[in-house]
Amino acid sequence: MKDDATPPQPTFSLSKSDAVSFLRAFDDGSVDLVVTDPPYESLEKHRAIGTTTRLKHSKASSNDWFAIFPNSRFEELFAEIYRVLKKNRHFYLFCDQETAFFVKPLGEAAGFRFWKPLIWDKRKIGMGYHYRARYEMILFFEKGKRKLNDLGIPDIIEADRIYRGYPTEKPAKVSRVLISQSTQPGELVVDPFVGSGSTGVAAVDLGRSFAGNDICDEALRVARERICAAGGIERPAACQRKTSTHQLTLGIGART
């Protein structure tokens, strides 16, 4: 007999915290996927030469959101991501080429297997000098061994860059590919640098639970509005330092 029951609406939670502290609130092996885009250190170099002036001010944000996550902290970030992920899971990190060379060996030292960089093709060139950037890297790490859901997906993901949106906003379409490839409906996706919430939008749209975090109130406001508009039901972030697996499946997993 066919089951016509409507699947429950996906849930999400948002927290304001340091990214590493946010991850420390999760139990070992309680997360199904991490997709994140840290405000990496090399952004400061681009700001200094004027190629990313939009990072300073925008209609939706201020400098506070762009407090840089320093390279010196990636080792502890990767250690926490590896700890919270279940066995046989994936981890995707958006970054530029300079950061990629720095963090790849740190991810491997934390226990991850590095497969390859995926490429987000933005279809149009951006600002810059010399060869102007048209792409961004997404480093593909694996804990254990997990088969992708669709082996026919290429390693170049095409999606137009976002204009006049939140600074460095990623199209939800890109995260949607990653989440579709590495999770099943109902599983938990986590982003410790949630920004404008594109990963959360993709997660709830695909029927996954989501837990996100940022240090900026404005980022959290924008993310909350977008994820709710995508159909997510907000659950309060857990106050306990450690949470149960049952709470995490509801998208609850961070300490405010």
Query: What span, in angstroms and rounded, lies between the C-alpha atoms of 55 and 12?
Result: 27
Query: What span, in angstroms and rounded, lies between the C-alpha atoms of 254 and 241?
Result: 8
Quick one: pLDDT at residue 114? 98
Number of domains in the chain: 1
The CATH number of whichever domain residue 119 belongs to comes to: 3.40.50.150
pTM to 2 decimal places: 0.83
Query: Which comes out higher in pLDDT, residue 77 or 244?
Result: 77
Question: Which one-letter amino acid corresponds to residue 185?
Answer: P
Q: Which residues of 97-122 are buried (b: 16+ CB within 10 A; e: fewer)?
A: ebbbeebbebbeebebeeeebbbbeb
Within-domain flag for 5: no
For 11-51, how does the pLDDT look when each residue is reduced to its tens digit (9 = 90+)? 999 999 999 999 999 999 999 999 999 987 865 555 444 44
Within-domain flag for 119: yes
The average pLDDT across 135-156 equals 97
Query: Which comes out higher in pLDDT, residue 213 or 63?
Result: 213
Within-domain flag for 16: yes
Within-domain flag for 142: yes
For 230-241, how does the pLDDT look when each residue is reduced to its tens digit (9 = 90+)? 999 999 875 333
Within-domain flag for 4: no
Q: Percent of the chain, pLDDT > 70?
A: 77
Within-domain flag for 22: yes
Segments forming the whole domain that contains residue 163? 11-249
The average pLDDT across 208-230 equals 95
Contacts of 3 (CB under 8 A, 6+ apart): none
The average pLDDT across 141-159 equals 97
Quick one: pLDDT at residue 222? 93
> pLDDT-derived band of residue 148, with 50, 70 and 90 as boundaries?
very high
Within-domain flag for 79: yes
Within-domain flag for 256: no
Query: What span, in angstroms and rounded, lies between the C-alpha atoms of 120 and 157?
Result: 5
